[in-house]
Amino acid sequence: MAECQDDDRLEALAGFEILDTPREPLFDSLTELAARTFETPIALISLVDEQRQWFKSCIGLGVDHTARDISFCQYAIRSDDALVVLDAQLDPLFAANPLVTGPPNIRFYAGAPLITSKGHRLGTLCVIDTVPRSAFDETEIGKLRALADSVMQALELRIAALERERLAKLAQEREALLVQAERMAGVGTWSLDVATDQTIWSDEVYRIHGIDPSNGSPELAGALACYRPDDARLVGECISRSVATGEAFDIQARIVRPDGEERDVLVRGACRFGADGGVAGLFGAFQDVTALRLADLALRESEARSRYLLENASDMIVRLNNHGVVIEVSPACRAYGYEPQELVGLATVSFVHPDDLAVATAARDDTLGSEGPDPDLLREYRLRKKDGSYRWVHGSPTILRDSEGNVREVITVLRDITERKLAEERLVASEAKARHLIENSTDMMVRMDQTSRILEVSPACRAFGYEPDDLVGQTSLALIHPEDLDAAVAAARDNFSGGPADLNLSREYRFRTKSGEYRWLQGSPTVTRDDRGAPLELISTFRDVTERKEAELALAEKEARYRLLAENARDIIACYGADGLMTYVSPAVSTVLGYQAEELIGASPANFMHKDDAKTV
């Protein structure tokens, strides 16, 4: 029972919100008055919580609390009577107390409990001395109780003041919230006193009118002057009718602000009746609905535009319910031979080509799923026209959900992609044909980057002992014969120079086979470029010209031998063209005939012979 009572007491103490608060002059003056009244060096206003006695005001001690279990006040709050200890050293309850045997060396103690109106003892007002006393009579106890009552009254006044402050703050916050709510909602309040003809406006009404509140609320005539003339007459009639009949009114009108801006407003009014039952005044709401009117106008215009786009869009726009059944379809369906009403109530998958049914079904199930459409899912399939032919379409769904997140309906745009699909099929066929040619060509086709690193190579490389994977990643220049490397580097530099190919550059090199021998290759390069013309990659076709090069070298060698013999012969050796003119004359002609060989090139031998012998030539 004692623990339960202490819990109630502690709860009451917490309700005063006094613990661990700063010093306050009122409480310090009461402790000073107590010390002076009883001529003690120490006076305390002590509040006892669960673990300690805390001093709201303290005179004569340098601490703000002590432990509850050694405090005198823990005994003083057990009764409504004052606790008086004349000499603590002679009192069995306190003789061994550390506050008696040590600082502050208490000898005399008198404490009166601080009792709330509900009987809870929160602490004490106590006076303490370091010397004992022989007596502390009823008069002095009465004074101590009176001072304790003053402390309790101060605590009550303090919490009441805090509560008033909270209430005032709450009222202020509520007023601010009301003003904010009016501002956010665009709704103000007004009232009219019938007897004085005076209006009262809230801040929002002033704001809507564009009038400074410091000018004060206008009389009824001034308020009506803010309306357009025809609307002012209407509002005035409504007010007069309400005063006469007690009926409420709700009208829309237009006001003109001082800056000339016109605003649409909604005016609602109701009657306030006096003690005699007559209408004493009117009150109501005032709302700026300009934005709503403009939004409604914009919505109508948007709907008109949307309807126009829907009616004239080349894409077919379809509304589906949450089961994939058509609710509405745009007139673009006529391109497929259907009238819109023919498709309503049918499932879109019923028009899908049998071979594409799995794709269309997966797309429908994904769209209606809880996660929403997967952007990476294939949504291309063929739709059957009314004449039985098929067209390729691509679907782009948009999901509309209810407040719980469930699919309410789907709006999908079906775009005809038949031409694109046919182009893709042609491209695939063309690529397949090109791949076939590459795979079966005897020429080796190589794709390289700007550093001559091989990116891809055709199977024709097997003629040189390599598999394509053997060459990918290698530098093509590393496979060129050292004697041909300079020419190959120059050609590679020319390929990516950005200008036309230099036709004088040799593009025939010896290429090392996997076995280590060399074969002559002739390169035919093509450079791929970006949109700005910058080179990206090189695609080159290499043809094996070893037999031709070897034949050319053999012929050149043979010609060199013949030339060597002719240059050193004593007889004149001459060569003739088909036209009978000399194309070559050996150096011996200068020794035998005295001509230089170059003088005779292009001449007929008959020009240098005796006329009798020329006939034989």
Is the Cβ–Cβ distance between 209 and 254 less than 8 Å? no
What angle in degrees, to the nearest 10, is found between the helix axes of 138-185 and 25-38?
180
- 113 band by pLDDT with thresholds 50, 70 and 90: very high
Highest mean pLDDT (candidates 120-134, 426-440, 519-533): 120-134
Rounded to two decimals, the pTM is 0.38
User: How do residues 225-241 score in pLDDT, each as one tens digit?
Assistant: 999 999 999 999 999 99
CA distances (Å), origin 452, targets 35, 474, 478, 520: 104, 8, 10, 18
More confident residue, 266 or 292: 266
Residue 244: how many other CB atoms lie within 10 Å: 9
User: What pLDDT was estimated at residue 178?
Assistant: 58
Residue 544 pLDDT: 87
pLDDT reported for residue 614: 57
CB burial of residue 477 (10 Å; 0-12, 13-18, 19+): middle
State the average pLDDT for the chain.
Answer: 86
- C-alpha dist (Å) from residue 384 to 348, 352, 362, 388: 10, 6, 18, 6
Average pLDDT over residues 395-420: 85
What is the reported pLDDT for 23? 93
Per-residue pLDDT, 410:
86
Using pLDDT thresholds of 50, 70 and 90, give the confidence band for residue 348: confident
CA quadruple 472, 474, 475, 481: dihedral, nearest 10: -110
In angstroms, the CA 56 to CA 36 distance is 18
Block residue for tokens 């509002």: 235
What band does 154 get if pLDDT is binned at 50, 70 and 90?
Answer: very high
Which comes out higher in pLDDT, residue 524 or 480? 480
In the chain, % of residues over pLDDT 90: 39
Instruction: Write down the pLDDT at residue 55.
Output: 96
- The DSSP code sequence of 479-530 is GB-GGGHHHHHHHHHHHTSSS---TTS--EEEEE-TTS-EEEEEEEEEEEE-
pLDDT score recorded for residue 134: 94
pLDDT band at residue 349 under the 50/70/90 scheme: confident
Taking a C-beta distance cutoff of 8 angstroms, is the pair 25, 32 a contact? no
Q: Which alpha helices (DSSP H) does 112-228 contain, by range?
A: 138-185, 203-209, 220-224
pLDDT at position 599: 81
SS3 content of the chain, % helix, strand, coil (to 5): 45, 25, 30
Q: How confident is the model at residue 4 (pLDDT cuts 50, 70, 90)?
A: low
pLDDT at position 311 over 70? no
pLDDT higher than threshold 70 for residue 370: no
Phi, psi of 410 (to 5 degrees): -125, 135
For 434-472, what is each residue's pLDDT tens digit? 576 666 677 888 998 988 899 999 898 998 999 999 999
- Confidence category of residue 176, pLDDT binned at 50, 70, 90: low
Give the pLDDT score at 502: 62
Band of the pLDDT at 1, cuts 50, 70, 90? very low
- Listed range (66-70, 312-316, 389-393, 540-544) with the worst mean pLDDT: 312-316
Higher pLDDT, 347 or 429: 347
A 10 A CB-CB count for 593 gives 13
**CA separation for the pair 323, 159 (Å, rounded):** 66
Strand order in the sheet with 121-129: 65-67, 52-59, 42-48, 121-129, 108-115, 83-85
Question: Per-residue pLDDT averaged across 514-525, rounded?
Answer: 90
Per-residue model confidence as pLDDT tens digits over 30-67: 999 999 999 999 999 999 999 999 999 999 999 999 99
Q: Is the pLDDT of residue 591 over 70?
A: yes
Long-range contacts of 325-332 (CB under 8 A, 24+ apart): 327/409
pLDDT at 560: 74
Indicate the pLDDT class of residue 313, thresholds 50, 70 and 90: low
Q: Is the peptide bond before 104 cis (omega within 30 degrees of 0)?
A: yes
pLDDT of residue 437: 62
Binned at pLDDT 50, 70 and 90, residue 309 comes out as: low
| For residues 261-267, average pLDDT | 91
pLDDT of residue 308 exceeding 80, the answer is no
Least confident stretch, 69-78, 179-188, 335-344: 179-188
DSSP class per residue in 61-129: -S-SEEEGGG-SHHHHTTSSSPEEES-GGG-TTTTT-HHHHSTT---EEEEEEEE-TTS-EEEEEEEEE
Over residues 556-570, mean pLDDT: 74
Residue 615 has pLDDT above 50, yes or no: yes
- Predicted confidence at residue 372, as pLDDT, reads 66
Question: Coil, strand, or helix at residue 593?
Answer: coil
Give every CB contact of residue 26 below 8 A, 6+ residues apart in sequence: 154, 158
Residue with tokens 């407003």: 265
Highest mean pLDDT out of 131-145, 317-331, 476-490, 556-570: 131-145
Residue 428 above 90 pLDDT? no
SS3 381: strand
